[in-house]
Amino acid sequence: MKKIAIILIFLAGFSACNEDFLDKEPLGKLSQDVLFSQEAGVENGINAVYTMLRSWDLVGFSWFGICELPSDNSNTGSHPGDGSFARVNTFNMFTYDATTSEQNGWWSGNYKGIAYCNVVLDNIDVLKDEAAKTKAIAQAKFFRAFFYFNLVRTFGDVPKIMNVITDPAKYALPRSPEEEIYAEIIIPDLIYAANNLPTRAQWGNANLGRMTKGTAQGLLSKVYLFRRDYVNAKKYAADVINGGEYNLYSNYRNLFAPTLEAMYASEIMIAGQFWWGAETSRNINSEFVKWQGVRSTNSKSFGWAFGSPSKELYNAYETGDPRREATIFVDGENVEGHGVVKLDLINAPMAYKKTIWPKSYWNTGAYGKMSCNLAYLRFADVLLIYAEACNELGETDDALAKLEMVRKRARGNVEYVDGTTPLPKITERDKAALRLLIWKERRIELATEGHRFFDIIRADKVVPGYANLALKTFVNGTGETVTTSFDVTKHSKFLIPQTQIDLTFGALTQN
């Protein structure tokens, strides 16, 4: 079956431009390699955008350092002796500076994606088939909004680039206000995508993995949640729920398996697009998997062992919640075909289990070649967005109903029975109390998937002090309480990479 993660492999040369794309060509200068001279070029251009979802800058250390490690769900892991440890650990401690490379990687990766989108949009007129043209525009606009949403949550005000820049005099663009990026790019691009993308069914099995009407509606609901526009957050989440094309996968643990069934499950709305193959072009490591894994004390290490779930996350699970065992790998667990792993209890006392599977899944016997993918957006996320929006609007029954859908799946798709099943139904009706319970459910359901830090920052705007309570201290592997340098006024946004400031001769200013 023609799956997008497979057919995109031939475009590796197209998408594998220098990793420092914006270091060489500031702010998305058009590369001659991506000029279109025929209709096939537009399709190739769209496919190249999809490859960004599995690129190092979007699922490697930059994703880890920006989206996951600063949260209260994760600690650095690995070992102080690792050459990258000291630098990566600055995100755990909030001591990074403008030269810390992961910020530049995240900036560059997202702007590279934006540049690809703009190339498609600027060259779309070569397509004569109007239906194909509309689908291409809708996909390019969806992704441009996706990349900009990453950027504004991370950096706030950023340069606004809506076309390919061909005039060298315009390379050094200043930052545009965050509100302007939302109003002129993110929201209108997503509305266009929601109105013009095919549904999952309309795309058909041959195009599983493509962005759909539902993915655009789902991302719009998240955008509006971050803007505290609960009416629109609810509206677009409801569109996804009522559309009927996405639903909860029956088994929480298996949702993250390195299988095509999991990758294209109807819960996964935006996936990472990596699928290993034996031919040379595909016999490569996953940029998402390779840096994870475990550091053992009994010769059972695999991967780079970065990312260790925090004790705070471990203790946040309710008694008997199966999601803890599905998410957190602990000392003494057996990896089928590999053996029992004794963990380094000081530096990496736990590991991310969503990327730990039996050795039979390790292609060519290499852990890093497993076809596990980051789920950027899941249907469970949309259900919880709907629940949160309903609670804020005073629609408590609807909020509780969607919250129960997520918890019912977690307990094994059975109704709660006192004394025999975990995770009782939540019945809280006080808005403030239910808000905290929904935020906790998001923390647990989406743990180690890169959502928690940004959730904490937006939550602090609703409940001042929430971020400081979550991020000011953590307990390390020796049981000591460590105080970080977190300051919500300073660390709610990351620093503009110094490399980018230098490239624009100071046109970009610092946060």
pLDDT along the chain (511 residues), means of 10: 35 35 37 53 88 96 98 96 96 98 98 95 88 95 98 98 87 95 98 98 95 98 98 98 97 97 96 92 95 96 97 97 98 98 96 98 97 97 98 98 98 92 96 98 98 98 98 95 97 97 94 95
In a domain, 486, yes or no: no
Q: In this structure, what CATH number is given to the domain that contains residue 133? A: 1.25.40.390
In a domain, 365, yes or no: yes
Q: Which residue among 323, 353, 370 closes a domain?
A: 370
| 298 shares a domain with 154 | no
Predicted pLDDT at 170: 80
In a domain, 75, yes or no: yes
Predicted pLDDT at 22: 32
| 125 shares a domain with 14 | yes
Predicted pLDDT at 37: 52
Predicted pLDDT at 129: 87
| 310 shares a domain with 182 | no
Q: What is the pLDDT of residues 3-44, one digit of tens each?
A: 444 333 323 333 333 333 333 343 434 343 444 556 677 888
Cα 262 from Cα 257, distance rounded (Å): 6
| 169 shares a domain with 49 | yes
Count of alpha carbons within 13 Å of 295, Cβ hemisphere only? 19
Q: Which residue among 370, 404, 420 closes a domain?
A: 370
Predicted pLDDT at 26: 37
Predicted pLDDT at 62: 98
In a domain, 84, yes or no: yes
The DSSP output letter for 343 is B
Cα 74 from Cα 62, distance rounded (Å): 15
Structural domain harbouring 191: 4-196+493-503
Q: Which residue among 370, 402, 435 closes a domain?
A: 370
Q: What is the pLDDT of residues 370-386, one digit of tens each?
A: 999 999 999 999 999 99
Predicted pLDDT at 41: 76
In a domain, 438, yes or no: no
Domain count, the chain: 2
Asked if 50 contacts 8 with a C-beta cutoff of 8 angstroms, the reply is yes
| 191 shares a domain with 310 | no
In a domain, 239, yes or no: no
In a domain, 354, yes or no: yes
75 backbone dihedrals φ, ψ, rounded to 5°: -120, 175
| 307 shares a domain with 158 | no
Predicted pLDDT at 13: 32
- Taking CA atoms, 150 is separated from 56, 211, 450, 505, in Å, by 15, 17, 11, 24
| 164 shares a domain with 22 | yes
In a domain, 147, yes or no: yes
| 301 shares a domain with 188 | no
The residue type at 339? G
Cα 369 from Cα 282, distance rounded (Å): 10
Asked if 36 contacts 57 with a C-beta cutoff of 8 angstroms, the reply is no
Burial of 464 from C-beta contacts in 10 A (0-12 / 13-18 / 19+): exposed
